[in-house]
Amino acid sequence: MSILIVDDEGGLRRALCAILEDMDFDVLDAENGLRGLELLREHLDRVEAVIVDLNMPVMDGYGFIQHSVQEAPETPIIVLSGVGVVDDALRAMRLGAWDFITKPVYSMDILEHTLRKVLDRARLIKENRAYKENLEKLVRERTAELETTRRQIMQRLSRAAEFKDNETGNHVVRVGEISALVARAMRLPEAEREMLRECAPLHDVGKIGIPDEILLKPGKLDNAEWKVMQLHCLYGCEILGPLISQEEALRSCSDPKAIPSGDNELLGMARVLAMFHHERWDGNGYPFGLQGEAIPLVARIVSVVDVFDALSSERPYKTALPEEQCLEIIHQGAGTQFDPKVVEAFFLVLDEIRAVQTMWRD
């Protein structure tokens, strides 16, 4: 490691070099600020501190300090200032110098003390920065681990619900992947698309609370059974709701505007999808009968995707419909069951949707 001396007085420069070498420092020296800046850039990883005069040709000490503070902010700078020009030294300190020594330098003890002091300060700054960076890295890693665990739990929860009527659980995966494709076609921000990809598989998590004799019943449900089936939206909202109490979770699902509340964005979106994915564009859906754009956009997207994939999938209580018939149902539903813009975006990415269905077929 080296000390850089920048001074236009050759005799003083050589004397300082000799003194510092006796202190076991390597020394670099320059006759003006411009040359000093070149040496600093060339040996940035070696220079521990700089001793710089203020009044020099080509580039003075002030110019050197301004540049070096920008390029090497953690490198200590000690100013050599003539007796009686303390104001100049203070100006240099305001520009970024760390300390100053007056000329002529009569006591080498003062030089050594000042140099050791700024080096100790620089070492502490570097150690604190390294500690902070390491701590921030550990926090990021731990946060990422917690986020990964949370997302894995959400994925497993969605599959637990889907296994009740689809033993492979691939329907929820397809809904997530296709929803992200449609969201991209609608130019939603990437972060929102990725969140939708992860949250969409939870849209039917409330099915966990539906009795098998209703959920898996072949044929049409009667009115009483249909009312029970519709409860899966509320159940999903409750499952993903506050953990304070079941009463609080139920209360939070009674107001459509309060459903996406909470500190966690993922759970907030998942609750929206669980509660609203059966609302219809014409207002004839459930559980609230919301109409048009009053239905959150992400729920409008999942509504189209969920219906299409359900129609084209085989279940214990139904056979899969041909793709042509499924697409016709989606097309005819634009403006009544579905948001027409979502349907339009759906058909824009139809080839990619087919690829997803092939990759994640049951």
Q: Is 207 labeled as catalytic in the residue annotation?
A: yes
Contact (CB, 8 A) for 240 and 270: yes
Three-class SS of residue 338?
A: strand
One domain for residues 172 and 290: yes
Domain membership of residue 89 (yes or no) is yes
Spatial CA neighbour of 80 closest among 118, 111, 62, 53: 53
Domain membership of residue 136 (yes or no) is no
Q: What is the pLDDT of residues 109-145, one digit of tens each?
A: 888 888 899 999 989 988 898 898 898 888 888 877 8
Q: What is the mean pLDDT of residues 58-72?
A: 93
Question: Residue 307 maps to which CATH number?
Answer: 1.10.3210.10
Q: What is the pLDDT of residues 282-334, one digit of tens each?
A: 999 999 999 999 999 999 999 999 999 999 988 766 788 999 999 999 999 99
CA dihedral 102, 106, 107, 110 (to 10 degrees): 0
One domain for residues 127 and 181: no
Domain limits for position 177: 163-359
Domain membership of residue 138 (yes or no) is no
Instruction: Classify the C-alpha dihedral 312-313-314-316 as positive or negative.
Output: negative
Residue 178, CB-side half-sphere exposure with 13 Å CA sphere: 34
One domain for residues 186 and 47: no
Q: What is the pLDDT of residues 225-239, one digit of tens each?
A: 999 999 999 999 988
Q: Cα 307 vs. chain centroid, distance in angstroms?
A: 32
Domain membership of residue 318 (yes or no) is yes
In the predicted model, is pLDDT for residue 167 greater than 60?
no
Question: Residue 38 maps to which CATH number?
Answer: 3.40.50.2300
Contact (CB, 8 A) for 343 and 333: yes
Domain membership of residue 146 (yes or no) is no
How many structural domains are present in the chain?
A: 2
One domain for residues 23 and 118: yes
In the predicted model, is pLDDT for residue 35 greater than 90?
yes
Domain membership of residue 181 (yes or no) is yes
Catalytic residue among 126, 132, 137, 207: 207
